[in-house]
Structure 1
Amino acid sequence: MFTGLIEEIGSLRSVERRGEAMILTINAVKVLEDVKLGDSIAVNGVCLTVVKYDARSFAVDVMPETYRHTNLASLQIGSPLNLERAMMAGARFGGHIVQGHVDGTGVIRDRRAEANAVIFKIEPHERNALRHVIPQGSVTLDGISLTVVDVDREAGSFIVSIIPHTLKETVLQHKHAGDTINIECDILGKYIDHLLHAPEDRTAQSGGLTEAVLRDNGFI
């Protein structure tokens, strides 16, 4: 599990491609301080497993499913990458619950300055992703925990506002209109939505989570 607080910006050292499978070698410093084989590191918001490392870099496998549903396939040598180690028990929880399981990609439709902030308008490639994006809720973009400012369901887009520190310390400083971005929606919303809309055969067996159940147990 991650929190969406980026620890450092790494860079892509090399890519070994085998069809829709890849091995990425990534230059890094901070995330290597206590690294071990098998550790999880979020790379642009994608939870990947360390399969090799040295004093200045680490390598991860990218399977076809990840290749198809994230922006990792479009990376070039030298591409900057958001990096975050898995959260330690007892550490401060500064962002929100981030799994590193990307729901899909989107495109940046607009980037503009507003006083000390920068506004990004994001259009998910899968319009259904907006189902789990709500104003003042949490969303993860390229591994960054952000607050949704507004959602335009008719246009199929949402807006986030970036403070100077976040812009400076993440790959968003390099992102512009037309660039792709990884999107992970809030896991709490996804689970609640799934339970409320579970297939009939499953709810018939278990009783399901219904409005009546929530009311009877004091949740609404």
Structure 2
Amino acid sequence: MFTGLIQGLGSLERISSERVRILCHPAGAKAILQDLALGDSVAVDGVCLTVEEILQNGFVAAASPETLRRTTLGLSEEASYVNLETSLRVGSKLGGHFVTGHVDGTGCLQEALETASSWEVTFSVSASPIGRYIVNKGSIAVNGISLTIAECDKAGSWFKVAVIPVTWAETNLQYLKPGSFVNLEGDIIGKYVEKFLGFNAPLQNHRQQAEEVITESFLAENGFM
């Protein structure tokens, strides 16, 4: 489990078809490496990877075929800037939101506009189930960064976030270009709510199911009225 608060940047190098080497950039190396142990989980651009080997300035991890198929890790041989975060320790502060490192799909940067106090960044969403978890003022992880959705369409085919200067300066968002792909993970709370309410039918049937499941008597019985 992660928080979506990036601890440093690294570079990704492909060792083989399913193994990658992550070299930490100096500014964040201590935060990533100081307590790192074999078997630990590290989020690399929001993808949870398991440490198989520890290097002086980084680590080696395996990426399964499913991970490569679903995330940006399978799109290129190397990446100069990847966001890094070690797993959440029990008792640590949760400054962002619960991020699992299990990416739902990818998106694409449309534009990034600098304002007086932040950056307004817009992403389109590739064909994947994540669209239904994109809601106004909800949480989303973009390349592992915990962000709040400022605006989106009903279908969740695009969304906009406001990025504060410190997040812009300390993550790889600043290096993205229009057309760059990013990893997206929807809020896990929304996924569980969907499951518990029985929303397992195609999207077009969700409203009908909600009407059948959530009634006045259901709300009264569960203390909402």
TMscore range, shorter length: 0.7 to 0.9
Q: What is the correspondence of 1:177-192 to structure 2 with a 5 Å cutoff?
A: 177-192=178-193
The runs of 5 or more residues in structure 2 that have no matched partner are 202-211
Aligned to 2:222: 217
Contact 1:139 1:186 in 2 (8 A): yes
Cα distance change, pair 217–157 in 1 and its aligned pair in 2 (3 A): same
Q: Find the aligned partners of 1:111 and 1:162 in 2 and give their Cα distance.
A: 10
Q: Which residue of structure 1 lines up, in the alignment, with residue 204 of structure 2?
A: none
What TM-score do the two structures reach when normalised by structure 2?
Answer: 0.86
The alpha carbon displacement at 1:155 in A equals 8.1
Runs of 4+ in 1 over 6 A off after TM superposition: none
- Write out per-residue CA displacement over residues 141-178 of structure 1, whole angstroms, 9 at most, x where no aligned residue: 00000000011236821101111100000010101210
The one-letter code of the counterpart of 1:11 is S
* Aligned counterpart, 1:15: 14
**Paired letter, 1:146:** L
Q: Is the 8 A contact 1:107 1:123 kept in 2?
A: yes
Aligned residues: 208
CA RMSD after TM alignment: 2.0
Partner residue of 1:144? 145
**2:170, 2:81 → 1: CA distance?**
11
CA distance in 2, matches of 1:175, 1:126: 20
Counterpart Cα distance in 1 of 2:220 and 2:133: 22
Identity %: 38
SS at the partner of 2:166? helix
In structure 1, C-alpha distance between the alignment counterparts of 2:37 and 2:187, rounded to whole Å: 28
8 Å Cα contact 1:104-1:184 kept in structure 2: yes
8 Å Cα contact 1:127/1:156 also seen in 2 = no
Contact 1:42-1:100 within 8 A present in 2 as well: yes
| Residues 169-206 of structure 1, C-alpha deviations (whole Å, 9 max, x = no match) | 00101012100000000000011112213559xxxxxx
Gaps of 5+ in 1: 201-208
Residues 99-156 of structure 1 deviation map (CA, whole Å, 9 limit, x = unaligned): 0000000111121122221111111102642211111110000000000001123682
Instruction: Tell me, in whole angstroms, the C-alpha distance in 1 between the residues paired with 2:187 and 2:101.
Output: 11
Q: Is 1:25 aligned with 2:26?
A: no
Is contact 1:117–1:161 with CA below 8 Å preserved after alignment? yes
For normalisation by structure 1, the TM-score amounts to 0.88
User: Partner of 2:167: helix, strand, or coil?
Assistant: helix
CA offset digits 1:8-50 (Å, max 9, x no partner):
01112x31233xxx21101122211111110000000001100
